[in-house]
Structure 1
Amino acid sequence: MHRDDPLTARAFVTRHRVALVVIALFLLVGAIELTAGRPPICPCGRISLWQGAAQSPETSQQVADWYSFSHIIHGFLFYGAAHLLLRGSPGLRAWAPAAAVLVEGGWELLENSPLIIDRYREATVAVGYSGDSILNSLCDIGWMAFGFGVAGRLPARATIALAIGFELMTLAVIRDNLTLNIVMLVWPIDAIRTWQGG
């Protein structure tokens, strides 16, 4: 296809519009969290690329931690949903990354609301959990977007294998993963809580 072909030009414009919407959504989530009183960075006063201790007060405060793998899996799932639901709609499918950022941003706002923070404290081993820093929250959205992009480039089987690998790895290392996180938020099981507190 030639560069000045109308279809190519339209795709180029759409990609740029999607990118602008994604940036606007990032800024909106950050602004809402700032208005809600979320700390911009870790209350410890430093920024780290990686926080490897799951029970550290710096978990959910830095650029990445063990829970970043769950957000990457969110991206895999959102890509899979877009692929299945928008199969015959290339115009709508072009907006799937923005829709994924919108959903993940909505989850980040909900996750950092008193409702979910209190639920984590009651139902999981995260007794002292106080929510994410804005830095961590926006990076979580970024990790989801990374997962979405990876899923778009890998065969479905490879993406599924990677998701299972991430789940098993975090289960082995921190006794938690996306699956257990959902279970413990929706239907807490005392035996799992005891094992996780192990």
Structure 2
Amino acid sequence: MTSHEFASVSALTGRVKFVPRPAPVPVYVAVVLSILAAKALILYLMGNDVTCACGVKLWLNDATGPENSKQIADWYSLSHLIAGMLFAAVMWWTSRRWPLGWMIVAAAAFSMGWEVIENTPWIIGHFGQSEIGANYSGDTIVNSLSDSVFVLVGFVAALRLPLFVVLALGLAAEAAVTFAINDGLILSTLRFVGGLF
């Protein structure tokens, strides 16, 4: 392998961009699992429950009750799917020469950061001020890990499927969440930004 496989020059800035060396698949799997385990430990140390005291469900349809973000999947899982697609666009724009495995690792790290911030008292309190988030008290660890899986699925799908399919899936998912629970990635972002001012 030659050095040009591990560095590229940006046409816009002329700077050399870092491109990690490819690694065996078990390395990627181990790093992703380590990131997910670290996230679970951080959330546990932050006081998040592993599962809901009400039991474990595969799907929760109610976005406003006390089980919100406590079960394996819910309407917000689709928002995490879309977030993975959007992060894929960022990685394609900034790091498209990276091996797919390291891009997936980056997506796992992105998801970890998002989930940890999302479960801080400030964010929980901020969303708790809205009517739809009045009962939100943070994610269970099971829900958070599931959210990361949805991010990774959306991420890989966005890199592998044709652009028109990705756009159609993303728009359909956002429309489904918006119409089902009057929320979604766009509305949550607008409410969050609006609540800051």
- Is the pair's TM-score, using the shorter chain for normalization, greater than 0.5? yes
| Aligned residues of 2:36 and 2:145 also touching (Cα < 8 A) | yes
* Paired position in structure 1 for 2:17: none
The residue type paired with residue 52 of structure 2 is C
| Aligned residues of 1:119 and 1:185 also touching (Cα < 8 A) | yes
* Paired position in structure 1 for 2:166: 159
* Paired position in structure 1 for 2:135: 128
Separation in 2, partners of 1:47, 1:31: 20
Separation in 2, partners of 1:90, 1:73: 21
Structure 2: any 5+ residue segments left out of the alignment?
1-20
* Paired position in structure 1 for 2:30: 20
Question: Is residue 116 from structure 1 mapped to residue 126 from structure 2 by the alignment?
Answer: no
User: Residue 114 of structure 1: CA displacement?
Assistant: 0.4
Cα displacement string for residues 151-171 of structure 1 (whole angstroms, at most 9, x for unaligned residues): 122101110111111111111
The residue type paired with residue 80 of structure 2 is H
Larger helix proportion, structure 1 or 2? 1
* Paired position in structure 2 for 1:75: 84
* Paired position in structure 2 for 1:90: 98
| Aligned residues of 1:123 and 1:185 also touching (Cα < 8 A) | no
* Paired position in structure 1 for 2:39: 29
* Paired position in structure 2 for 1:176: 183
User: Residue 90 of structure 1: CA displacement?
Assistant: 3.5
Pairs aligned (count):
176
| Aligned residues of 1:53 and 1:59 also touching (Cα < 8 A) | yes
SS of match in other structure, 1:126: coil
RMSD between superposed Cα atoms in Å: 1.7
Post-superposition, which runs of at least 4 consecutive aligned residues in structure 1 deviate over 3 A?
none
* Paired position in structure 2 for 1:5: none
Separation in 1, partners of 2:87, 2:177: 20
- TM-score normalised by the chain length of structure 2: 0.83
SS of match in other structure, 1:57: coil
The residue type paired with residue 77 of structure 1 is L
Separation in 2, partners of 1:125, 1:174: 8
* Paired position in structure 1 for 2:194: 187
* Paired position in structure 1 for 2:6: none
Separation in 1, partners of 2:50, 2:57: 13
Separation in 2, partners of 1:172, 1:75: 21
Separation in 2, partners of 1:102, 1:68: 17
User: Residue 124 of structure 1: CA displacement?
Assistant: 5.2
The sequence identity of aligned pairs, in percent, is: 34
The residue type paired with residue 56 of structure 2 is I
The residue type paired with residue 82 of structure 1 is M
User: Residue 128 of structure 1: CA displacement?
Assistant: 2.1
| Aligned residues of 1:50 and 1:62 also touching (Cα < 8 A) | yes
Separation in 2, partners of 1:94, 1:20: 11
